[in-house]
């Protein structure tokens, strides 16, 4: 699996900013149950600058993973968790650490994606809360599941496109099918392409790229998060640790019953 992670990461990093490999920043997240390592993406500079600054100041050190959900993600780093008593709800973040989002189409929510959460209330600009971070666990999808997700998301758009391009020509197509199947197939393909292009040009549509399909059917992830949160890095080592933390027994607030503490976040 690490081989797939490294392949996708190399595509993301070196297709974005024309940056040399030896200029790429790396991150190490040392916890009391193991260490994860990864890279930071150069095409979301405000998030990288903020994350690096906070890490170098030690602001994530000593904090907890406060929210863990199996097949979804693990979230930690919030300042209010550093001295939180057992069973106390924490992980509320800091308004002063909020920055505007920098969503990049180069990255999507595969397993190990390092991303910025946000406060759900009083946040019309959907700013990222850089006082903490989350790491995607997700799940592995089948090809059929991805196809179904596309169909559900595109259903209404497709219906309108069919009304526009297919319905007016349906009777002629049916007659042509009886008379000349070759010409019928040519015209049908042209109509279907127009429907496809109409869907692709409509905001809110869902078409997975070949890269996304390969990633979600091998590495896995949380496709429903794509485009909704800023992804600023990718864990490449210690993916099994994500599973270990996500599978911890937890309380009603999704806080692990046994503290999972971030000892140190290092940039190198």
Residue 18 has a pLDDT of 40
pTM of the entire predicted model: 0.86
For the chain, which residues score pLDDT lower than 70? 1-22
Residue 13 has a pLDDT of 46
**How many structural domains does the chain have?**
2
Residue 1 has a pLDDT of 57
Residue 21 has a pLDDT of 45
Are 108 and 57 members of one domain? Answer: yes
CATH code of the domain in which 59 resides: 2.40.100.10
The CA distance from 188 to 176, in Å, is 10
> Which range marks the domain in which residue 59 is found?
2-140+218-267
Task: Please say whether the dihedral angle defined by the alpha carbons of residues 127, 130, 131 and 135, taken in this order, is positive or negative.
Answer: positive
Residue 207 domain-assigned (yes or no): no
Residue 109 domain-assigned (yes or no): yes
Cα angle vertex 16, ends 136, 202, to 5°?
A: 75
Residue 16 has a pLDDT of 42
DSSP letter for each residue of 237-253: E-HHHHHHHHTS-B-TT
Are 79 and 126 members of one domain? Answer: yes
Residue 17 has a pLDDT of 40
Q: Which of 101, 78, 74, 108 is nearest to 90 (CA)?
A: 78
Are 12 and 88 members of one domain? Answer: yes
Are 28 and 104 members of one domain? Answer: yes
Is residue 47 a contact partner of residue 130, using CB atoms and an 8 Å limit?
yes
Are 10 and 90 members of one domain? Answer: yes
Residue 14 has a pLDDT of 43
Query: Would you report the helix, strand and coil content of the chain in percent, each value rounded to 5?
Result: 40, 20, 40
Residue 213 domain-assigned (yes or no): no
């Amino acid at each position: 699996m690490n081989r797939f992670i490294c392949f996708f990461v190399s595509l993301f990093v070196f297709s974005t900013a024309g940056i040399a490999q030896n200029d790429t920043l790396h991150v190490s997240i040392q916890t009391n149950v193991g260490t994860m390592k990864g890279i930071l993406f150069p095409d979301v500079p405000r998030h990288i600058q903020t994350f690096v600054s906070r890490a170098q100041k030690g602001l994530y050190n000593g904090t907890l993973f406060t929210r863990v959900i199996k097949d979804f993600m693990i979230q930690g780093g919030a300042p209010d968790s550093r001295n939180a008593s057992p069973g106390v709800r924490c992980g509320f973040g800091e308004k002063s650490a909020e920055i505007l989002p920098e969503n990049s189409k180069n990255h999507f929510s595969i397993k190990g994606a390092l991303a910025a959460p946000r406060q759900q209330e009083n946040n019309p600009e959907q700013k990222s809360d850089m006082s903490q971070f989350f790491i995607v666990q997700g799940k592995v999808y089948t090809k059929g599941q991805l196809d179904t997700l596309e169909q559900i998301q595109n259903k209404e758009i497709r219906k309108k496109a069919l009304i526009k391009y297919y319905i007016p020509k349906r009777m002629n197509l049916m007659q042509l099918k009886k008379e000349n199947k070759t010409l019928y197939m040519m015209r049908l393909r042209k109509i279907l392409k127009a429907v496809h292009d109409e869907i692709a040009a409509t905001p809110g549509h869902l078409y997975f790229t070949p890269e996304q399909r390969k990633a979600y059917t091998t590495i896995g992830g949380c496709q429903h998060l794509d485009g909704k949160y800023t992804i600023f890095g990718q864990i490449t080592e210690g993916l099994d640790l994500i599973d270990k933390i996500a599978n911890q027994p937890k309380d009603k607030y999704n806080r692990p019953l046994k503290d999972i503490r971030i000892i140190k976040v290092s940039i190198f």
